[in-house]
Structure 1
Amino acid sequence: MSNKGIEVVLNGTPVSTDNFSWTTGFNLAHNKNKIITLSDDPRFNIEDRLTVSPDGAGQSGLTLQTLKPGQPIGTFFTFKYAGKDANGVSQYYDANGNLTKTPLTKTDYYILGNAQPKALLGWSNNIRYKNFDLSVFMRAALGVKIMNVTRADLFRPSTAQFTNIPVEVENESVSDFNSYKYSSRFLENGSYLRLDNATLGYTFKKGLIPGVNSIRLYTTANNLFVITGYKGIDPEINQGGTAPGVDTNNFYPKTRTFLFGLNVSFN
């Protein structure tokens, strides 16, 4: 396997006066991953390997990714969605680009993108105005692909009489026996911008209380918001191992927390 990348870090203090200061830092990281070979000698020779086989009902034998020389880890390799036919049944492209409602595993698979982000960004800011201080840290991941397996498994209009289904599924035809099949239909843009942490504080003037050197009142918010087009619970899913970018509802989403505090320093 080969990994090549670049990281850029910029730090600066654009403003610094007696009453106001602003310090900021920005970092950008890009990594290019590629599998070189799956073989070590003629006795152990593998051209490729299909990976990630979720256990959704009716999905037996289907896989989502491939480990293949020349491709990065997290390469999505599965069916390519082609819309509905005249009867409202989902159809797909076969290996020759023709429409079919019964695509064949691997034979009709297409390379559809990758789960690894094209860029990771971070931006930190520390601002002080007289006795107020504010720190903010934001993160972003760009160019991420996520296979929303959880959404696919719920895309069954015929089950509405038994279980809850997403609102968007109400427009699906109950005769569509292909509506939930893992394919590019459920491969989503997982890029996001997240406000990781923000802290606002106020330091009272020295001497306000006899025997007290300083008093600082502050509040902190973690995971205040995330901006994303991803339809799942959280776009920041597992990105480790050999099968990143597959959302099978097997992780706990980040929580939003608030903290209020008081720091007191005595003489």
Structure 2
Amino acid sequence: MIFDIYEKNTLDMLAYVPNPGTAGLEPGPSNVASARNRGAELAIGYQGGEDDFTYDLNANISMYRNEVTDLGAPVDSLNQPIFTGNVFGSGDFVAITDIGLPIATFWGFETAGIYQTDEEAMADTAQANAVAGDVIFVDQNGDGVINNEDKVVIGNPHPAFTYGFTAGAKYKNFDFNLFLQGSHGNDIYKGMFRYDLNTTNLPISALDRWTGEGTSFDTPRVTHSDLNQNNRVSDRFIEDGSYLRIKSLMVGYTLPSNTLERLGISKFRVYASANNLFTFTPYSGLDPEIGTRGTLEIGIDRGFYPSPRIYNLGINVTF
């Protein structure tokens, strides 16, 4: 068993330091930001068996907490957050990197369902263009206007923990290997969904759209004119990205040595294997294992090609 606890401070990260207004220049990237990672890792293994049957089991789990500690602005000025992750059709950014938050935290509007009647929509003066079937956005500061001041943290792309498990076994001339991999507690922003949200090529979820009072409380009406901006960056597009995947599975058989001697072969093994065999996840996209696009864009699904399922049959021969 191996157990490690660590703290890592990363310095000289890229950040945009604001220029004085008199400079007349847009801020440029500089290696001035800092972040802290605290975490723990546990790995355990066991080997057992006797006679014709042996096996080995190995498992690991890793967890960390990430926090931005500095964005590099001068002491007498305000540190300005970094916004990244523009998503198709939203006209806005998805992620914020700011002091006290994890890197690339999802940032947008909180929603509170769907207006069921025109009277309900008209009574909410914060959304002047809303009608029945539109999304209700939360007025966080209560000023009667839905704008950027009402954006809040809507998700975290960093997992609570990741884990893996491997198992190997041999029984007489048969062998078996299994590798599982998983992640838990991370969110995904389903950015590819935005392609489909206006008038054409609608996803199957459009069948559950609002079409009248009481017909839907989470999927808005379909309209050519979206004056309420139902598709703006919000928690509507945040999904649980946790998953457990069978990364690889292999079964093999090695011919007995007495048979091989007559054939003039020292080893002959036949095997069958599969990669990315099954994935168990609540995520509705193609693949929850989407990775990153740069340090400041994590967990944004823009339609990445999913991990292919691969089957193999093979023979290992040693003369």
Confirm or deny a common fold (TM above 0.5): yes
Matched, 1:225 2:278: yes
Match of 2:189 in 1: 147
The Cα offsets for residues 3-27 of structure 1, whole Å up to 9 and x where unpaired, read as 11111110111x3111111100001
The structure 1 residue matched to 2:268, chosen from 215, 218, 221, is 215
Amino acid paired to 2:266 = N
Amino acid paired to 2:207 = E
The structure 1 residue matched to 2:137, chosen from 78, 81, 92, is 92
Amino acid paired to 1:103 = I
Matched, 1:116 2:167: no
C-alpha deviation, 1:97, in angstroms: 6.0
Structure-2 change in CA distance of 1:200 and 1:4 (3 Å): same
The Cα offsets for residues 182-234 of structure 1, whole Å up to 9 and x where unpaired, read as 21011000000010011100011112142112211101111001110111110
Contact between 1:221 and 1:259, CA under 8 Å: does it hold in 2?
yes
The structure 2 residue matched to 1:202, chosen from 250, 253, 258, is 253
The structure 2 residue matched to 1:174, chosen from 214, 222, 232, is 222
Amino acid paired to 2:195 = D
Contact between 1:155 and 1:165, CA under 8 Å: does it hold in 2?
yes
Match of 2:67 in 1: 34
Higher helix share: 2
Match of 2:295 in 1: 241
Q: Distance in 1 between matches of 2:141 and 2:77?
A: 31
Q: Distance in 1 between matches of 2:241 and 2:167?
A: 25
> Which is further off, 142-151 or 206-215?
206-215
Contact between 1:7 and 1:28, CA under 8 Å: does it hold in 2?
yes
Contact between 2:88 and 2:192, CA under 8 Å: does it hold in 1?
no
Match of 2:113 in 1: 83
The Cα offsets for residues 7-61 of structure 1, whole Å up to 9 and x where unpaired, read as 1110111x311111110000111111110010253377523222222231xx22x
Amino acid paired to 1:225 = F
Amino acid paired to 1:96 = N
Match of 2:306 in 1: 253
- Unmatched tracts of structure 2, length 5 or more: 1-34, 117-131, 210-220
Superposed structure 1 runs of 4+ greater than 4 Å apart: none
Q: Which has the larger radius of gyration?
A: 2
Structure-2 change in CA distance of 1:76 and 1:97 (3 Å): farther
The Cα offsets for residues 56-107 of structure 1, whole Å up to 9 and x where unpaired, read as 1xx22x2211111010112111011111102111111012369x8x731x21
C-alpha deviation, 1:180, in angstroms: 2.6
Matched, 1:126 2:146: no
Q: Per the alignment, in what secondary structure is the counterpart of residue 194 of structure 2?
A: helix
Amino acid paired to 1:23 = D
C-alpha deviation, 1:264, in angstroms: 1.5
C-alpha deviation, 1:152, in angstroms: 3.3
- Unmatched tracts of structure 1, length 5 or more: none
The structure 2 residue matched to 1:23, chosen from 31, 35, 56, is 56
Contact between 1:48 and 1:67, CA under 8 Å: does it hold in 2?
yes
Q: Distance in 1 between matches of 2:88 and 2:268?
A: 56
Amino acid paired to 2:109 = F
The structure 1 residue matched to 2:234, chosen from 166, 183, 195, is 183
Match of 2:30 in 1: none
Q: Distance in 2 between matches of 1:220 and 1:27?
A: 23
Q: Distance in 2 between matches of 1:216 and 1:229?
A: 39
Q: Distance in 1 between matches of 2:93 and 2:195?
A: 14
Tell me how large the CA RMSD over aligned residues is. Answer: 1.9
Contact between 1:221 and 1:256, CA under 8 Å: does it hold in 2?
yes
Q: Distance in 1 between matches of 2:41 and 2:142?
A: 40
Contact between 2:186 and 2:242, CA under 8 Å: does it hold in 1?
yes
The structure 1 residue matched to 2:44, chosen from 10, 13, 21, is 10
